[in-house]
């Protein structure tokens, strides 16, 4: 297709654009997509329409059944069989270079777990999830009993203490009540508020506890929330939230190869030196097994906000109830398998868009991760079909099925470490889908530079409610913010979640490789996470009975991948990035009172607090980066609107723009956690997002020397990226100015 543009029209567009932001283009009637020339946008729209018509709810359901038929925990024969199944499917679908990569990693499997109360009465915990009417899969003999990944082995008989959520402040309160947990067993709840169970284990280990029991209180995911399985989506009496307690917030992946890949012959550190291996025993419990223990406990009555949903008074314990815990683990080296396949780009095969989902599940993995795996399989079928028919993306799409995500983000981390150098030169972005759907509420995450393209893509998709996905997303976000009593109104600028913590396979790509990442999920009431009840029955009755959100996920994932693969100029918005960084810095100053109060807020007669850290130079650098980003946005808008773009020039600009994310890496990492190299994005030990991690943690510790160093690292990175973006802008302007003379020669890239 050719859409040659008369010169006068180009100029009039240029003039219009000079007066308006590039977003103005969106209001034009002809299709407009960030990063595309008008003719390329028209072709892209046609392609996307073809693509979106392929994924079907029936196929999603069929694939979902394949993956949820049997338990498939990391390292199991079934999970490895599914790896071969995926590889076979991908080859049939026309994907290229399909390969199963093996990593020999320190795995974790239970031999036996045992818990009994020995005083004041005897109770032996069943540690099993009982079948419910209507769900034949729950009778499967290979459903595991209760166990925690990476638990230590051992045996202890000791008093039991109720430590609420198991966060450090909870032990503070116990101490104030005169309760010491040293050598004792602690019983904690999963989430009040949520924190990663590995952080609970580390906290208990630091407090000197002999073992930690983590149970699901009905107040959090059970009958206090609503109807339970089989009558509703919430967790029933016997549901057990399995999960690993690996200290992967220190360093994810194989604990014995921190920072390099567990390929054959790789150096391995001794187990004793591995910082991510817990030394404490851990066991998850259903409330069915926790209730008899809680009911017998003595000691002071627990505070009001420690009381849970069971019809008993919760006590702090520490004396009367004694429990006997015995855990035997087989924690040893075993193979994990990552499946990799690609659709090679027709024009830019060495530019990669990476897409991934983990395959391993605690049991059947109805939501986590098999909803995502089904969506991935429908995505590859659809894109494979187009490729077979001769419609290839311009850039290469790389698809990955990760293993051992549940154990320590293991497969993706090893793969990312193995190909870090290649990814740093070739990768445009990584798009992660872990749980595709547990309901209808969309959550979209993106590094701030890709937030605008994510929001834009949702406008072209139809939500099962009949609205566009964009409208549905905006409505649910507005509702959520109202419920959370947030006053900030939902706008296109703040719709996407740009605060990215850890807890899934994007971690290595963002924090170690320095790639921009996106994360997609549909959410809803979901009380059976990591339990056997998270299965095919649950999905067909509660999560997504019509498989319409699975289908929508395949469509959205594909549209984003195709846009990144086909764009003339990659749709990075660095002005938006700068704006986000400014917000992070301002929040840090405000929340941590880095500057003290501004003069206007200081009452007369009150001394102005001292300012241990001056962030003005950082804010100045952010202003410069924002200005550079705006200029590049405008130049890119002009170049694209002109309809023609020299492919070599576009490649120069794109490869330069890809380096911006890499420049946020500090090779030394953040203080204390050298593996985590990104200076804007990090995660707390709880997995919660942590912006400006090195700087923020230093400020929180009031370690002003480190804080000043971290602020300077941030300022330097901002200046480097400002220079890079300014140079790109100069190149683009110089070349496009020279190009207009013979513009009629070509209509650009196809």
Q: Coil, helix or strand for 243?
A: strand
Nearest to 710 by CA among 685, 679, 735, 686: 679
Closest separation in Å from C-beta 146 to Zn ion: 19
Binding-site string for Zn ion from residue 412 to residue 451, where x marks contact by CB under 5 A and - marks none: ----------------------x-----------------
Q: Which is nearer to Zn ion, 530 or 673 (CB)?
A: 530
Q: Which is nearer to Zn ion, 83 or 640 (CB)?
A: 83
Q: Which is nearer to Zn ion, 460 or 531 (CB)?
A: 531
- What letters, b where the CB count within 10 A reaches 16 and e where it falls short, cover 406-439? bbbbbbbbbbbbbbbeebbebbbbbbbbbbbbbb
Q: Which is nearer to Zn ion, 159 or 369 (CB)?
A: 369
Cross-strand pairs, 690: 682
Closest separation in Å from C-beta 233 to Zn ion: 17
Tokens of 741: 């003379």
Cross-strand pairs, 402: 358
> Which residue stretch of 268-276, 362-370, 561-569, 707-715 sits at the interface with Zn ion (rule: CB under 5 A)?
362-370
Q: Which is nearer to Zn ion, 654 or 686 (CB)?
A: 686
Closest separation in Å from C-beta 401 to Zn ion: 13
Q: Which is nearer to Zn ion, 44 or 435 (CB)?
A: 435
Query: What gap in Å lies between CA 425 and CA 148, rounded to an integer?
Result: 38
Closest separation in Å from C-beta 529 to Zn ion: 9
Q: Which is nearer to Zn ion, 368 or 747 (CB)?
A: 368
Q: Which is nearer to Zn ion, 35 or 372 (CB)?
A: 372
Query: What gap in Å lies between CA 286 and CA 292, rounded to an integer?
Result: 11
Tokens of 708: 């000043």
Q: Which is nearer to Zn ion, 437 or 666 (CB)?
A: 437
Pair 514, 665: CB distance under 8 Å: yes
Q: Where are the beta strands (DSSP E) in 403-447?
A: 427-432, 441-446
Q: Which is nearer to Zn ion, 35 or 404 (CB)?
A: 404
Closest separation in Å from C-beta 528 to Zn ion: 13
> Which residue stretch of 295-303, 367-375, 376-384, 521-529 sits at the interface with Zn ion (rule: CB under 5 A)?
367-375
Q: Which of 243, 341, 369, 519 binds Zn ion (CB under 5 A)?
A: 369
Pair 174, 337: CB distance under 8 Å: no
Query: What gap in Å lies between CA 442 and CA 124, rounded to an integer?
Result: 42
Q: Which is nearer to Zn ion, 434 or 626 (CB)?
A: 434
Query: What gap in Å lies between CA 420 and CA 509, rounded to an integer?
Result: 8
Q: Which of residues 2-61 bind Zn ion (CB under 5 A)?
A: none
Q: Which is nearer to Zn ion, 149 or 369 (CB)?
A: 369
Tokens of 386: 């187009």
Q: Which is nearer to Zn ion, 368 or 634 (CB)?
A: 368
Closest separation in Å from C-beta 435 to Zn ion: 6
Closest separation in Å from C-beta 86 to Zn ion: 16
Pair 641, 10: CB distance under 8 Å: yes
Q: How many DSSP H helices and E strands does the chain contain?
A: 22, 18
Q: How many residues bind Zn ion (CB under 5 A)?
A: 3
Q: Which is nearer to Zn ion, 445 or 666 (CB)?
A: 445
Pair 730, 656: CB distance under 8 Å: no
Closest separation in Å from C-beta 245 to Zn ion: 16
682: contact with Zn ion by CB under 5 A = no
Closest separation in Å from C-beta 195 to Zn ion: 17
Q: Which of residues 165-204 bind Zn ion (CB under 5 A)?
A: none
Closest separation in Å from C-beta 104 to Zn ion: 22
Rounded to 5°, the CA angle 155-197-105 comes to 75
Query: What gap in Å lies between CA 187 and CA 236, rounded to an integer?
Result: 20
Pair 249, 502: CB distance under 8 Å: yes
Closest separation in Å from C-beta 73 to Zn ion: 12
Closest separation in Å from C-beta 368 to Zn ion: 4
Query: What gap in Å lies between CA 557 and CA 376, rounded to an integer?
Result: 8
Closest separation in Å from C-beta 564 to Zn ion: 23
Binding-site string for Zn ion from residue 131 to residue 170, where x marks contact by CB under 5 A and - marks none: ----------------------------------------
Q: Which is nearer to Zn ion, 354 or 433 (CB)?
A: 433
- What letters, b where the CB count within 10 A reaches 16 and e where it falls short, cover 158-180? bbbbbbbbbbeebbeebeeeebe
Query: What gap in Å lies between CA 356 and CA 341, rounded to an integer?
Result: 11
Nearest to 310 by CA among 185, 223, 232, 239: 223
Query: What gap in Å lies between CA 382 and CA 556, rounded to an integer?
Result: 12
Q: Which is nearer to Zn ion, 82 or 293 (CB)?
A: 82
Q: CB count, 10 Å around CB of 313?
A: 11
Number of residues written out for the chain: 750
Q: Which is nearer to Zn ion, 191 or 721 (CB)?
A: 191
Pair 711, 613: CB distance under 8 Å: yes
Pair 72, 373: CB distance under 8 Å: no
Closest separation in Å from C-beta 416 to Zn ion: 17
Q: Which of 48, 220, 248, 368 binds Zn ion (CB under 5 A)?
A: 368
- Could you report how far apart the first and last alpha carbons of the chain are, in Å? 8
- What letters, b where the CB count within 10 A reaches 16 and e where it falls short, cover 225-260? beebbbebbbbbbbbbbbbbbbbbbbbbbbbbbbee
> Which residue stretch of 185-193, 361-369, 589-597, 699-707 sits at the interface with Zn ion (rule: CB under 5 A)?
361-369
Alpha carbon distances (Å) from 691 to 135, 529, 574, 582, 671: 43, 27, 17, 11, 14
Query: What gap in Å lies between CA 153 and CA 164, rounded to an integer?
Result: 24
Closest separation in Å from C-beta 241 to Zn ion: 13
Query: What residue spans of 230-299 are helical by DSSP H?
Result: 287-296
Query: What gap in Å lies between CA 535 and CA 715, rounded to an integer?
Result: 48
Binding-site string for Zn ion from residue 524 to residue 563, where x marks contact by CB under 5 A and - marks none: ----------------------------------------
Q: Which of residues 495-524 bind Zn ion (CB under 5 A)?
A: none
> Which residue stretch of 369-377, 491-499, 628-636, 720-728 sits at the interface with Zn ion (rule: CB under 5 A)?
369-377
> Which residue stretch of 162-170, 360-368, 649-657, 732-740 sits at the interface with Zn ion (rule: CB under 5 A)?
360-368
Q: CB count, 10 Å around CB of 285?
A: 22
Closest separation in Å from C-beta 365 to Zn ion: 8
Closest separation in Å from C-beta 547 to Zn ion: 19
Binding residues for Zn ion, per CB under 5 A? 368-369, 434
């Amino acid at each position: 297709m050719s859409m040659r543009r008369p010169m006068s029209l180009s100029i009039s567009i240029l003039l219009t654009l000079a007066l308006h932001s590039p977003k103005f283009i969106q209001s034009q009637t002809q299709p407009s997509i960030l990063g595309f020339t008008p003719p390329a946008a028209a072709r892209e729209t046609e392609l996307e329409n073809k693509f979106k018509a392929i994924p079907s709810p029936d196929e999603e359901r069929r694939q979902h059944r394949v993956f949820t038929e049997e338990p498939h925990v990391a390292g199991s024969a079934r999970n490895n069989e599914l790896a071969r199944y995926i590889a076979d499917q991908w080859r049939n679908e026309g994907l290229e270079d399909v390969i199963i990569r093996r990593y020999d990693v320190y795995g974790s499997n239970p031999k036996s777990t045992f818990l009994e109360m020995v005083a004041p009465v005897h109770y032996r915990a069943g540690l099993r999830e009982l079948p419910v009417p209507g769900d034949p899969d729950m009778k499967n003999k290979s459903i595991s009993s209760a166990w925690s990944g990476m638990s230590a082995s051992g045996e202890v008989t000791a008093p039991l203490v109720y430590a609420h959520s198991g966060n450090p402040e909870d032990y503070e309160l116990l101490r104030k009540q005169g309760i010491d947990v040293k050598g004792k067993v602690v019983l904690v709840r999963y989430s009040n508020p949520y924190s990663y169970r590995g952080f609970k284990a580390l906290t208990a280990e630091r407090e000197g506890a002999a073992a930690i029991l983590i149970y699901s209180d009905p107040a959090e995911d059970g009958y206090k929330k609503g109807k339970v399985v089989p009558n509703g989506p919430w967790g029933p009496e016997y549901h057990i939230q399995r999960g690993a307690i690996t200290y992967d917030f220190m360093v994810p992946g194989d604990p014995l190869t921190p920072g390099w890949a567990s390929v054959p012959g790789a150096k391995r550190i001794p187990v004793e030196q591995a910082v991510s291996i817990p030394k404490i025993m851990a066991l998850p419990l259903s409330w069915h097994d926790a209730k008899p223990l809680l009911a017998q406990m003595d000691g002071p009555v627990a505070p009001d906000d420690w009381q849970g949903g069971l019809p008993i008074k919760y006590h702090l314990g520490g004396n009367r109830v004694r429990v006997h815990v015995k855990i035997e683990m087989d924690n040893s080296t075993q193979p994990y398998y990552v499946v990799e396949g690609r659709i090679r780009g027709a024009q830019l095969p060495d530019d990669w868009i990476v897409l991934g989902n983990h395959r391993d599940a605690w049991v059947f993995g109805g939501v986590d991760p098999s909803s995502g795996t089904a969506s991935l399989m429908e995505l590859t079928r659809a894109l494979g079909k187009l490729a077979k028919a001769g419609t290839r993306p311009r850039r290469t799409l790389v698809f990955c099925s990760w293993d051992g995500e549940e154990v320590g983000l293991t497969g993706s981390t090893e793969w990312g470490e193995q190909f870090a150098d290649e990814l740093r030169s070739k990768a445009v972005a990584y798009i992660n889908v872990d749980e595709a759907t547990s309901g209808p509420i969309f959550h979209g995450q993106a590094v701030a530079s890709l937030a605008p393209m994510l929001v834009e893509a949702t406008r072209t998709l139809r939500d099962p409610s009949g609205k566009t996905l964009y409208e549905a997303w905006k409505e649910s976000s507005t509702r959520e913010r109202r419920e959370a009593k947030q006053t900030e109104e939902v706008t296109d600028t703040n719709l996407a979640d740009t605060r990215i913590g850890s807890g899934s396979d994007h971690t290595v790509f963002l924090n170690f490789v320095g790639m921009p990442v996106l994360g997609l999920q549909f959410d809803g009431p979901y009380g059976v996470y990591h339990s056997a009840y998270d299965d095919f029955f649950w999905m067909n009755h509660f999560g997504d009975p019509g498989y319409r959100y699975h289908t929508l996920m395949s469509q959205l994932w594909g549209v984003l991948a195709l846009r990144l693969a086909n764009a003339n100029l990659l749709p990075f918005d660095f002005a938006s990035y700068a704006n986000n960084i400014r917000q992070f810095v301002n929040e840090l100053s405000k929340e941590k009172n880095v500057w003290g109060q501004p003069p206007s807020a200081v009452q007369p007669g009150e001394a102005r607090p001292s300012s241990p850290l001056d962030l003005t130079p950082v804010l100045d650098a952010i202003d410069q980066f924002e200005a550079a980003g705006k200029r590049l946005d405008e130049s890119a808008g002009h170049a694209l609107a002109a309809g023609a773009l020299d492919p070599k020039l576009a490649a120069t600009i794109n490869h330069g723009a890809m380096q911006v994310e890499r420049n946020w890496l500090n090779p030394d990492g953040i203080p204390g956690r050298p593996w985590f190299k990104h200076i804007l994005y990090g995660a707390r030990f709880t997995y919660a997002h942590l912006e400006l991690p090195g700087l923020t943690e230093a400020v929180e510790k009031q370690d002003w020397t480190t804080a000043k160093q971290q602020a300077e690292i941030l300022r330097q990175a901002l200046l480097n990226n400002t220079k890079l973006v300014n140079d790109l802008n100069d190149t683009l302007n110089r070349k496009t100015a020279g190009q207009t003379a013979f513009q009629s020669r070509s209509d650009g890239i196809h």
